Amino acid sequence: MAKYDPKSLKAEEFINDEEIRATLAYAEENKNNVELIDRILEKARPVKQGNGCVCAGLTHREAAVLLACEIPEKIERMYEIAEEIKLAFYGNRIVIFAPLYLSNYCVNGCVYCPYHLKNKHIARKKLTQEEVRAEVTALQDMGHKRLAIEAGEDPVNNPIEYIIDCINTIYSVHHKNGDIRRVNVNIAATTVENYRKLKEAGIGTYILFQETYHKESYETLHPTGPKHDYAYHTEAMDRAMEGGIDDVGLGVLFGLEMYKYEFAGLLMHAEHLEAVHGVGPHTISVPRVKRADDIDPGMFDNGIDDETFIKIAACIRLAVPYTGMIISTRESAEVRAKMLRVGISQVSGASRTSVGGYTEEERPHDTEQFDVSDQRTLDEVVSWLMDSGHIPSFCTACYRAGRTGDRFMSLCKSGQILNCCHPNALMTLAEYLEDYASPETKEKGYRMIEKELEKIPREKTREIARKNLEAIRSSNSRDFRF
């Protein structure tokens, strides 16, 4: 039987079934152990250090105890600390992005995904480079600066050369004052050589959802195609890092398996990356299975309610304080608002999950990957974020200044975030307001910028930020950053 070893490069050793089961048993035994729970909560709290803050994070066992705990006042405390951590490292900034679906050709048999090979009634489509340009122009016209590209797995229709061509095309489009400054990539597990090619093409984060950490379920849920190979999929992030990509994004598709099992697996994966590569995941996504063509989420018996979902997010926030957390438009505005409080730092906005969806007037459904719950426009999302005190940020500075991997974590810990990320968020918001916002959003946005500028501690930085904001307002000068 495989033995647990976070430093191992073998999937079954770093995501070890026996260790997960022992963790769940320990959590169950201790879910009412108030003394232990208080100690874990205390450990999770941010502590002042110099000008900044540090957080110890939690082990998968400690975090599992919190997730198992059902004592209402302790859960409330988890939410409070999650919010404290979020404010310490991410402030009130929320980064905005959009997915761009390149192709829904797929040779896999994933039973929860409408792109599965046997689905004969979904229209198959792959964007030409001309169509990529049109989609990117439409996305720029909304105000997007950051994309996550998505594609099915198909070595004939979507080989790595096609993905690289698309990335080059995306970066080459400069429509009016628009440009896409960061392309994150969500494609199937691949080889070190292909990851190197993605790195050379200038990608931001490589995102790959594990779907489920439970090996047997994984094999049943992916009955055919290359994705069937659990070890190859689970070890993908190690290959990505070997290929030079140091920002990787993890995720579980909640609803497929028991959430407590997934939660422990997810944190063990993060611990493994830290142990082997010295840097944890850049982001964690928390998608839930949605209705889609040929897919009824009711087919899976592990659906979770909103309360549990929010508790999972808060516990992730406590366990991996420096990792960004992403929520997509799979979730309603209501759920997204609650998730923002407990730790989410990135949201998608005005997403279309169909291939070629952004150039269509009406939301098309024929090639859609899943039903989008939050169907608001980007302007509505921006305005809504500001109404709840969040700064919508289109910032891509860290990655472009080479602050990836552990260099991003160092910035988090240094206390320089308010002199760096905060003005960057305000300047990119101003770009949005000038170039794309409705008059009401623009007015609201500038009121927010004025107020938020005062939070920049260093006077010199504040002055430069003011000057840059003035330039954005009075000319076509764009893309300032600290």
Residues of the shown chain interacting with ligand SAM in the complex, contacts defined by CB under 6 A = 112-113, 150, 152-153, 186-188, 208-209, 211, 227, 253, 287, 289-290, 292, 295, 330, 369-370
Q: Are 445 and 386 in contact (CB under 8 A)?
A: yes
CB of 436 to ligand SAM, least distance (A): 27
CB of 254 to ligand SAM, least distance (A): 9
CB of 373 to ligand SAM, least distance (A): 11
Q: What is the CA radius of gyration of the chain?
A: 22
CB of 104 to ligand SAM, least distance (A): 8
Cβ distance to ligand SAM smaller for residue 153 or 374: 153
Q: Are 351 and 329 in contact (CB under 8 A)?
A: yes
d(CA 205, CA 171): 15
CB of 349 to ligand SAM, least distance (A): 17
CB of 60 to ligand SAM, least distance (A): 21
CB of 187 to ligand SAM, least distance (A): 5
Please report, as a single letter, which amino acid is at residue 418.
L
Cβ distance to ligand SAM smaller for residue 42 or 296: 296
CB of 231 to ligand SAM, least distance (A): 15
Give Cβ neighbours of residue 142 (< 8 Å, ≥ 6 apart): 98, 350, 358, 377, 378, 436
Give Cβ neighbours of residue 209 (< 8 Å, ≥ 6 apart): 186, 250, 251, 252, 253, 285, 287
Cβ distance to ligand SAM smaller for residue 61 or 330: 330
d(CA 326, CA 286): 7
Give Cβ neighbours of residue 364 (< 8 Å, ≥ 6 apart): 352, 354, 356, 357
Q: How many CB atoms lie within 10 A of CB 344?
A: 27
CB of 116 to ligand SAM, least distance (A): 9
Cβ distance to ligand SAM smaller for residue 234 or 369: 369
3-state secondary structure labels for all residues of 342-402: CCCCEEECCCCCCCCHHHCCCCCCCCCCCCCCCCCCHHHHHHHHHHCCCEEECCCHHHHCC
Cβ distance to ligand SAM smaller for residue 40 or 187: 187
Cβ distance to ligand SAM smaller for residue 68 or 295: 295
Cβ distance to ligand SAM smaller for residue 181 or 290: 290
Question: Can you name the residues that pair with 254 across neighbouring β-strands?
Answer: 288
Residues 230-264 as b or e (16 or more Cβ within 10 Å = b)? bebbbbbbbbbbebebbbbbbbbbbbbbebbbbbb
Question: Can you name the residues that pair with 93 across neighbouring β-strands?
Answer: 391
Cβ distance to ligand SAM smaller for residue 289 or 429: 289
Alpha-carbon distances, residue 280 vs 9, 300, 474 (angstroms): 15, 30, 41
d(CA 187, CA 151): 6
Cβ distance to ligand SAM smaller for residue 80 or 294: 294
CB of 153 to ligand SAM, least distance (A): 5
Alpha-carbon distances, residue 144 vs 8, 154, 393, 405 (angstroms): 39, 28, 10, 24
Cβ distance to ligand SAM smaller for residue 184 or 393: 184
Cβ distance to ligand SAM smaller for residue 86 or 336: 336
CB of 3 to ligand SAM, least distance (A): 28
Cβ distance to ligand SAM smaller for residue 186 or 383: 186
CB of 447 to ligand SAM, least distance (A): 37
Side-chain half-sphere exposure of 373, counting CA atoms within 13 A: 15
d(CA 143, CA 349): 10
